[in-house]
Amino acid sequence: MAEEKYNMKNPAVKRILQEVKEMQSNPSDDFISLPLEENIFEWQFAIRGPGDSEFEGGIYHGRIQLPSEYPFKPPSFMLLTPNGRFEVQTKICLSISNHHPEHWQPSWSVRTALVALIAFMPTNPSGALGSLDYTKEERLALAIKSREAAPRFGTPERQKLIDEIHEYMLSKAPPVPQVSTSQPSEDQTTKGEDEVRDNATNAGADDGIVEEELQDRASADRIVEEPHEVPPNANSVQTSQPQPYIHSSEQQQQQLLHKPAMRVPRQADDRLFTWAAVGLTIAIVVLLLKKFMKAHGHSAFFTDES
């Protein structure tokens, strides 16, 4: 249709149609741009916010106006999606735009310009024309909002193309990071409570592990696997099966338990033995005395006087 409507001998038309074909045959996940069917010099585009920045995950629509002398003169750019870096529906000042024709190179293309625009997003605006200097939090909030719906701009034909581009970019865009606020959300609070409970559970488990290790160490101090030593008077057959070695304190307790109890003499028995010893002593003394008297001629002392 464009071949029939436009003069194919025009260098600008030939170049634009060539870029359209290249854009369709080699699509990118970071951007997309297509001309209007009724005017190939006007393009609608959308870029994805650069990663590791406050624009990450955002979808930013814009409009490109190519001059009739394209590619020998630079195009103009306009953002349609609020982004916090460039004003919307205002021609922005970049080295690749018509604000600086002295920097433009005819070898550059719409693809080159879109790649450069993505790179310009996180840079310092430095007061350039059409630039804004929002905070990172504000830009991140705008990035989230940019995914909700495509911007409204121009005729129904323009809007139809903008909506199609938006759906394509949504299918390629990763999830956008959430805005960090000073007050935790309900999900964050719940997550925090779950983490506290998990930490408490883990702490309890760790205490149990420590207690179990202490018990194991105490058991290791008391019981050591060594070969069983058979007493000399034992009748059992010695085997090679290792038996537990008992700690000395417990061994002494077991020896005391198995030691036969000593018989304690009663008090009556003590008195009986005492009197027996006294009587035996007296008898011995009498015998010795009698023998002594007899030996010295006093034996009549022990005879009857009658």
Catalytic residues: 93
Token pair for 100: 């600086």
Give the whole-angstrom CA distance, residue 28 versus residue 122.
20
What strands, in cross-sheet order, belong to the sheet with 42-48? Answer: 31-35, 42-48, 59-65, 76-79
Beta-bridge mates of residue 48: 59
Contact 59, 146 (CB under 8 A): yes
Contact 161, 44 (CB under 8 A): yes
Give the whole-angstrom CA distance, residue 109 versus residue 66.
10
Cα angle: 77, vertex 30, 66; to 5 degrees: 25
